[in-house]
A and B are shown apart, each in its own frame.
Chain A
Amino acid sequence: MALDVTLPQRADRRRGWLRSEGRTIGALLLRALRLKFRESRLSYVLAVAEPCLQFGVLFVLFSIIGRHPGFGDSLVLFLASGIIPFFLFTHLSGRIANSLRAAQPMSPLRVVSSLNLAAAQAILEFVTIIIFMVIVLSLLAILGVHGAIPADPIELVCGVVAVGLFAFGVGLINSALYALFRIWTLIYGVASRSLIFISGVFYAPELYLPPAYRDILVWNPVLHGLSWFRTAIYPTYPQNMLDRGYLLACALAAIAAGVVLDRVIGRVVRR
C-alpha cells in the first residue's frame, strides 16, 4: 500500500492540517479494512461479496414467487436499482456507530477523533458499495439486461453522493445516540430493516402508492435517494416524487445534527 501509516509528526502542522487529517483518515481506513474480516485472508473480497450475496438471495426469492418488476421490464435491474442505494444508506449509517464503538481503545491517540474515524469507516463502506454497484450493473450489462448501463451517469454519481452524505450524517447521529443509550443499535437495526418497505425497494412508489400514503412516505429521504438513483438508471422514470433539494437538505441537516451531537454527547460521555 502506498499509504503512509506513520503518525503525523509535528512538522506536519506546518504543512497543514489537511494533510495531517488525510493521513490520519488513510491510516484509519487501512485499519478498518484489516479489522473488517480479521479471520479470513480474503478479507475485502468478502466485504464486497456480502451485499452481492444478499442481493442474489433477494433476487432468487423474488423470481421464485414470480414478482413483476415495479418499473421497466427486468426484475433484476429494478431490484438492483432499489437495493444499491438502500444498501448504501444502511451500510453507511449503521456501521459508523459500530466502528466508533470498536475504536474506543484508540481514544488515547490524539490524532484520532470520532469524526475522522467515522469518515474512514464511511469511505470504506462507500467504496465497498460502489464496487458492489459496479459489479452488479456491469454483470447485468454483460448478461444483456436491457438498460443496465445507466442512462445518465452524472445523475447517478450525484445521487450516490447525496445518499452517501445523508447516510454519513445519520451514521454520526447514530453513533452519538449509541454513546448515550447502548440499546440504540438494536433499535436502529430494526428501524433500518423495516425501512426497506417504506423506501420503495420492491416497488416504484411513484406509480403504485395511493396518494394518501404517498403524502406520508414522501418525507422519507431514502425514498428520494432511490428515486434519484432510478432516474439515473431509467431514462423515463417518473420524477413526480423526486426532490433532490430535499435529500440534500436532509443530508446537510443530518450531518450538522450529527456533528453537534458528537461534540455535545462526546463531552458528556467521555467523562
Chain B
Amino acid sequence: MNLAMDSANEKGASGAARPKPAAGRRNLAAVPARPAARENTPPREGAPKTPAKPAVASPIKNLALAELRPVTPVTTSSPVAKRSRWRWLLFLVAFVVPASIGSLYYGFWASDQYVAEFRFIVRAPNDLQSAATGASGSSGAGAVGSSASALSIMRDSYVVSEYLSSRQVVEDLVARGVDLRAMFSHADVDWWARFNPDRPEEDLVRYWRRMVEAYFDIQTGIVWVTIHAFAPNDAERLARELVALSEKLVNDMSMRARTDAVAFAKAEVERAAHRVSVTRETLRDFRARNRLVDPTGTAQQSLELAGKMKAEIARLNAELSTLRTYLSPDAPSVLQLRNLIKSLEQQMAEARADVGDVGVEGADPNKLAELMAKYEALRVDHQVAQKFYEFTLLALDTAVRDAARQQSYIVSFVKPVTPTKSTYPNRPVSILIVIASCAAFWLVCLLVGYSIRDHMV
C-alpha cells in the first residue's frame, strides 16, 4: 500500500500549513518534544528542563518537515489505482458485503415470524378487602394488609415472568405435548433462524429465550408476554399453553401456600389433641390407682360422715346410759344398742382412715394432702392442654379462612389470538438498520484509515 503517495498528493498543502499554529505555541511543546529529543540527541545531555524549551521545539518543526519532504518523490507504476485499491477493498469488505448479505437475508430469505402476545395480572381476592378496611378508617391495618398483598402479588408476577423464560417451562410445554423442536425446526424456516433439532436441551432453552419475552411491569402490575413462532397457529397455541401454564403455576403456588398453612395448623391441632388425651389418661390412671374420683370431695365426704357418726354415737351412748338406769345390761335392747354403737365406731374409724390415708391402713395424715397436690397438678395440666386444644382449633379455623382469602389467581385481560399477519422481522426497518450500521462501520474504518494514512511518517 502506497500510503505515502496519497499523503504527498492530498495533504501536501495542509501538511505544509500544519506547523503554523505550533509556531505560535512553541513554548508549550516541551512535553511532546522529549521523545523526539531522545531520537536525535542523547536525552539528558543538552536539555535542562526549562531553558531548553525553544531549542527543543524547533528541531521538532524541522523534524516534521524533514519527515514530510522525502515522501514526495516516491514513484510507482500506477499511483491512482494503488491509492484507491484499499478504499475499494474496505468499501467492499466493510459495507457492500455485509450490507448486501443483511439486506438479502431480510428482504428475501428471512422466514416470517408470527407474534402472539398476552397480558395478565396476578390478583388476590383480599385486594378488595384490605382496600375496604383501609377506606373504612382503620388505615394502618388496611395499609399493612394491602402492602403485604401487593408484595405477594409482585412476587408472584416476578415468579411467573421468570418461569416463562426458564428451562422448566420448556420441559412443561414438552410434557404437555407441544413439540417445540418440531415447531422451531420446520424445513421451510430459514437456516439462520431455524433451530437445529439435534442440539441438546440447553440450546433449546437458549433458543426459547430468544423466542419468548416476558416481563413484569412493576408500576402497572402487568405481565407482558410475547411469543414468536414461524406459523400463526403455532404462535397462538404456544400462547394458550403459556397462559395455562402460568395459571397452573400461580394456582399451585397459592394452593401450596394454603395447604402449607392449613397443614401446619392441622398438625398443631393434632399435637394439642394428643396432649389432651395424654393428660386425661394420666388423670384417669391416678384416679383408678387411688380408687377415687375426686380426692377433695372424698375427703370432705368422709369427714362429714365421720362427724355425723360421732354425733350419732354420742346420741346412742346417751340413750344407752339412759336405758342402763332401768334395764339390766343383758336386756336385748341394751345389747342391740351396744352393737349399733360398736359398728358405728368401726365405721367412723374407717371414715377417718379414709381421710388420713385413702384406702391404706396405718393412716398417715400427710398422705391425703400430698395426693391432693398431685391431683391438682394433673388437673391443671389437663386444663391447660384443653385450653391449648381449643386455641389450636381456632387457629386452624383462621388458617383455613386466610388460605381461602389468599388464593391469588391470574386475570389475563389480553388473551392470545391467532396472528393473521407476520409482524417480525420488520423487513424495511431491519434492512435500514443493517445498511445504516454497515455504513457507519465502513465510515469509521475509512476515516480511521485516512487519519492513519495522513499521519504516517
Seen from chain A, the residues whose Cβ lies within 8 Å of a Cβ on chain B are 5-10, 12-13, 17, 20-21, 24, 27, 31, 34-35, 103-116, 206-207, 209-211, 214, 238-240, 249, 252-253, 255-256, 259-260, 262-263, 267, 270-271
Contact = CB atoms under 8 A, between A and B. Distances in A.
Contact of A252 (B21, B440, B450): B440
B22 A7 contact: no
A110 to B, nearest CB: 5
A162 B381 CA distance: 72
Given A111-B456, A255-B444, A240 B217 contact: yes
A270 B38 contact: no
B457 A6 contact: no
Contact of B215 (A12, A240, A263): A240
A6 B64 CA distance: 14
Interface stretch (B10-18, B285-293, B340-348): B10-18
A114 B454 CA distance: 11
A20 B19 contact: no
Interface of B: 3-4, 14-15, 17-19, 21-22, 25-26, 28-29, 31-32, 34-36, 38-39, 60-61, 63-64, 67-68, 215-220, 433, 437, 439-441, 443-444, 447-448, 450-457
B443 A108 contact: no
Contacts of A252: 437, 440-441, 444
Contacts of B451: 113-116, 259, 262-263
B21 A270 contact: yes
Contacts of B21: 104, 107, 270
Nearest to B14: A270
Given A211-B217, A270-B17, A270-B21, A110 B457 contact: yes
A7 B457 contact: yes
A207 B218 CA distance: 6
A96 to B, nearest CB: 15
A148 to B, nearest CB: 23
A263 to B, nearest CB: 5
19 contacts: A6-B35, A6-B38, A31-B32, A104-B28, A105-B25, A105-B26, A106-B29, A107-B18, A109-B36, A110-B457, A115-B451, A211-B220, A240-B215, A252-B437, A252-B444, A256-B441, A256-B444, A259-B448, A263-B447
Given A109-B60, A211-B220, 5 more contacts: A112-B455, A209-B219, A240-B216, A255-B444, A263-B450
Nearest to A17: B452
B35 A34 contact: no
B447 A108 contact: no
B219 A210 contact: yes
A13 B39 contact: no
A260 B443 contact: yes
Given A7-B36, A249-B437, A108 B19 contact: yes
A104 B25 contact: yes
Contacts of B31: 31, 34-35
Nearest to B70: A10
Nearest to A241: B215
A113 B35 CA distance: 16
Contacts of B25: 104-105
A35 B31 CA distance: 8
A20 B452 CA distance: 9
Contacts of A104: 21, 25, 28
Nearest to B441: A252
B28 A105 contact: yes
Nearest to A4: B35
A109 B219 CA distance: 57
Q: Which 9 A-B pairs have the closest CB atoms?
A: A240-B215, A256-B440, A105-B28, A108-B22, A259-B447, A113-B455, A105-B29, A106-B32, A108-B64
A211 B456 CA distance: 52
Contacts of A109: 32, 36, 60, 64
B25 to A, nearest CB: 5
B24 to A, nearest CB: 9
